[in-house]
Amino acid sequence: MRQLDLNADVGEGLPETDAALLELVTSANIACGLHAGDPHTIRKTLAMAVQHGVAVGAHPGFDDRKGFGRRPVQLDATELADLILYQLGALDAIARVEGAALHHVKPHGALYNQAERDEALAVSIIAAIRLFDSQLRLVGRAGSAMARAAGALGHPFTPEAFADRRYRSDGSLTARSESGAVLTDPDLVAAQVRRLVTDGEVVSGDGTRVPVAFETLCLHGDTPGSAALAARIRQELGALGVSVSAPRLLGVDTLPP
């Protein structure tokens, strides 16, 4: 039976949604306090993730709370390393208190989008992660600059596909500023998941069939109705005979007491 991970971005200011999502997903990308979140929400979100056996990862973004981390920022390699290390350190400290170990890093918003295209930025992100923990997997889109950089550097990488986002014909995501970029209709989301699983592809906004390699499916926590969408995705995966489970970190999911 095929197994897939289902991940969601959480800790971004929607506590009730997070509580519902963490009962359904198997990995959580937790905001680290800059683009969204604060020490209290980080700890509360981590505690819920541990309660439900959800693998936890960092979701670092630009220091841009007003723009929710979705506005492009240009940083040099040192500034970027400091930005990422600061966020990983904060999340890791609170995770340890809750008895959890970090599994992965998934950049947020504009940081993710820029690193999809910018090879130098992708390399700098991986370098920053390796300064902290060389075993932390980077999560990103297959075929992106992040995937290429991880391959070249021999860094662990998990390719992801998106259940709730429309794709362009080149395999990148349609910009959120464009109509229809975010999928909120449960039937459309289920259809995209079905095509991803059965055919390994999506249909782009212009009708192109786009191959997509992935090991984890992403659902954004701030997508309207995300908890209901997560339930529908789980239902669809079950009907397709796909088991949903969290990835393991060196065979260990929690730290020893």
Q: What is the pLDDT of residue 251?
A: 37
Asked if pLDDT for residue 247 goes beyond 80, the answer is no
Does residue 178 belong to any structural domain of this protein?
yes
Does residue 95 belong to any structural domain of this protein?
yes
Asked if pLDDT for residue 232 goes beyond 60, the answer is yes
Indicate left, alpha or beta for 68 from its phi (over 0: left) and psi (-120 to 50: alpha): left
pLDDT, tens digit (0-9, with 9 covering 90-100), for 134-181: 999 999 998 899 999 999 999 999 999 999 999 999 999 999 989 899
Does residue 249 belong to any structural domain of this protein?
no
Containing structural domain, residue 202: 3-244
Average pLDDT over residues 231-246: 95
User: Which of 223, 183, 196, 230 has its CA nearest to residue 6?
Assistant: 230
What is the domain-level CATH number for residue 217? 3.20.20.370
Whole-number CA gyration radius for the chain:
17
Distance CA 117, CA 140 (A): 12
Structurally, the chain folds into a number of domains equal to 1
Does residue 26 belong to any structural domain of this protein?
yes
Average pLDDT, the chain: 93
Asked if pLDDT for residue 1 goes beyond 70, the answer is no
pLDDT band at 77 (very low <50, low <70, confident <90, very high): very high
pTM for the full predicted model = 0.93
Does residue 257 belong to any structural domain of this protein?
no
Secondary element (H or E) of residue 113? helix 109-117
Does residue 250 belong to any structural domain of this protein?
no
pLDDT band at 248 (very low <50, low <70, confident <90, very high): low
Does residue 97 belong to any structural domain of this protein?
yes
Does residue 251 belong to any structural domain of this protein?
no
